[in-house]
A and B are shown apart, each in its own frame.
Chain A
Amino acid sequence: MSGAASTQSRRAAWSSAAAWRGLFRDRPIVPLVGLLVLMIGAIRILQPDIINPGWVGVTLRAAIPLAILAACQTLTFLTGGIDLSVGAVASMSGFMVATLVGHQGLAVALLVPLLIAAIAGAVTGIGVGVFRVHPLIMTLGMSLVVLGLANVWQLIMVQTGSGVPADLRTLGSGTVGGILPFSLLVFVPLAAFILFMLRSTGFGRLLYAVGDNPVASRLAGVRSWQVLVVLYVLSAVLAAIAGFLYSGLTNVASVSLVDSAVLPSVAAAVIGGTSIMGGRGGFAGTMVGVLILTVLTSLLSSLGYPEAVRQILFGSIIVAVAAAYTRVTAES
């Protein structure tokens, strides 16, 4: 009797563990939000005065441009790729706006970098899709090209001077009542568009299909090169928009402004549960991943930890979360 009971209880324990695993696998956003709440709770206990509407505003303001860059990584991850050129493209676009706005007006100043980004993205997409160059190498090469050209542009424009336009400063760093950043005006439609695209459009499903099984999708008649070209154009345009927000947020026009955000954007997508091997993940998890990274930064700096500790914890959390994902998805 007792033996049967213990088997039964063991089975119950096992099934609840399996249920947890299933939850983690199918709805990774639930444990991620749990982690986020836990971290905010930790801040609340350790530094009770910090959490106030102003803190929320500052955190969101810093998270939004990073979330757009992380969207680039999420979309490219889904096809088994990666976009290392987002830093160069974003810096270039922020810098171009600041140098063009004085002569050409804001509309032209915004359109020109968007166009350049789209061209760079198209070249990347053709390299990856048609020539089958590894996305890591293709986007690395493209980032060198964009960075170099931006530097040349900087030397040409050195006399005219530059300044981040006031409208962009308001958009990037202004808030409503100190809580809701204006950049939400850009981010909410973008995020809704990306979520809708991935869930409910043919293109979104094709991204998953190409990444999950390239051979099967080819045999099913998918022209994967067209999917990839559109994907990398989209990624570059998103990066350019993030660049506008970064220059508005920091009020700095520099050709290397966004470089330091590239690796965190990759990290956010990984923490958010998108597989770098393709075919699995989504933007909802990535947004939580960005918030986790931003809140972690805020937590550690509020505790007075130096940059070194922050980086070490950053890396450790990425490995731990990625290992947890691999574990639950491998056992399915």
Chain B
Amino acid sequence: MRASPARSTGGSAILAAARRNAWTIGLLVFMALLLVFTKIIQPSYGAAGVQGLGSSVLPLALAAVGQAVVVISGGIDLSIGSMMALTSVVSATMMNERPEEFAIVVVISVLLLGLAIGAVNGTLAVVTRVPDIVVTLAMSFVWAGCALLVLKTPGGGSAKWLLSLVTGSVGIEWIPRAAVLLIVVVAIVWIPLRRSRLGLSIYAIGSNRLAAFRSGVPVGRTRVAAYMVTGMFAALGGLSLTASTGIGTPVPGPYTLMSVAAVVLGGVSLAGGRGGVFGAVAAVIILQLIRSDITFLNINPNLAVVVQGVILIGVVMIGSLVQIRRARA
């Protein structure tokens, strides 16, 4: 903060921005290195591989963006996987044997459903004053039960244009459509949100709830809003599951805990108030790349899980060591 805004030149502004986002930039560099490494060990890895990567990371990436928002606000949402299952079966049931155009109505209503169930989570956490982790854990049972009420076994259907939205490429074949979709969604929702009063409030209540309250931030309402955004991203994740598989599955996938892992790897502090959604997305891609690299290397694929766990523990340990050092200095 030595350079005052008046004196700061373009170069130092970029430098300051780089310092602020050092973690995300580090992740992006690591991701690029992994891509190069993948290309070296598997020379045939090309446009098709990148397209597949885009499609396969989309549901978890959307879940991670949603988780990031609520974690930044100082909460945590352990019901993301169940919300995805619920929204996935609702969309699959609604689209089953319906005309293609009807899917637009489905998408909009499922997004509204996501906002609504997020609002229920948030309101319960605010009103009961039970720790977020307990409320959302309990609600994960409720939403999973609702998903089973809607659809007992995997089934339903999906519009073809939704499938084409999450697979294939845009323009040149190296740009997966799923990645473009992800960027567009995040750009439409997150970037305006972050610059808005609500976005600032979300960071404020995550960073210091009491200070935020005393500065006039409506803490309860902001928490509910953060949960609603999370619910909407969970609904997007559920829609992407239905779109890519063509059916809805009522059993929650591993998305809840993996989204927490991705968020933490992405540089969002579980204590709240710090980080952004892009790091979380980069972390999701890195986790998936490691998984495919291990397949390419002909190593026992089960070791991929071990490696993911070791990386999770290792990275977080290093991160917290750096913090402890900094606190002592």
Contacts and interface: CB of A to CB of B under 8 A. Distances in A.
B264 interface: yes
A247 interface: no
Nearest to B149: A308
A65 to B, nearest CB: 20
A308 B146 CA distance: 6
Contact of B129 (A84, A152, A318, A330): A330
Given A127-B313, A132-B324, A145-B313, A318 B138 contact: yes
A318 B141 contact: yes
A319 B76 CA distance: 16
Interface in A128-142: 131-134, 136-138, 140-142
User: Binding site of B, secondary structure by majority: helix, strand, loop or mixed?
Assistant: helix
B231 to A, nearest CB: 16
B135 interface: yes
Residue of A137, A147, A267, A277 ringed by the most chain B CB atoms within 10 A: A137
B141 A152 contact: no
Given A136-B270, A144-B308, A319-B128, A311 B260 contact: no
A263 interface: yes
A267 B307 CA distance: 30
A307 interface: yes
A318 B307 CA distance: 35
B41 interface: no
B131 A276 contact: yes
A86 to B, nearest CB: 13
Contacts of B188: none
A270 interface: yes
- Classify chain A: how many residues form its interface, as a range: 35 or more
A145 B310 contact: yes
A133 B316 contact: yes
A314 interface: yes
B215 interface: no
Contact of B313 (A142, A152, A270, A276): A142
Contacts of B145: 307-315
Contacts, number: 149
Interface stretch (B7-15, B42-50, B233-241, B298-306): B298-306
B302 A141 contact: no
B305 A151 contact: yes
Please classify how large the interface on chain B is, using the bins under 10, 10 to 19, 20 to 34, 35 or more. 35 or more
B77 to A, nearest CB: 13
B72 interface: no
B133 interface: yes
Interface in B285-329: 300, 302-310, 312-313, 316-317, 320-321, 324
B63 to A, nearest CB: 15
B140 A315 contact: yes
B306 A132 contact: no
A325 B316 CA distance: 33
Contact of A319 (B124, B261, B309, B316): B124
Given A140-B260, A276-B131, A312 B303 contact: no
Closest 10 CB pairs of A and B: A144-B309, A311-B145, A148-B305, A315-B141, A148-B306, A151-B302, A308-B148, A315-B142, A312-B145, A318-B138
7 contacts: A134-B270, A141-B310, A270-B137, A306-B149, A307-B145, A309-B145, A314-B138
Given A137-B316, A267-B138, 14 more contacts: A136-B133, A136-B270, A137-B261, A141-B261, A143-B309, A145-B306, A148-B305, A148-B307, A151-B302, A307-B148, A308-B152, A310-B145, A315-B139, A325-B130
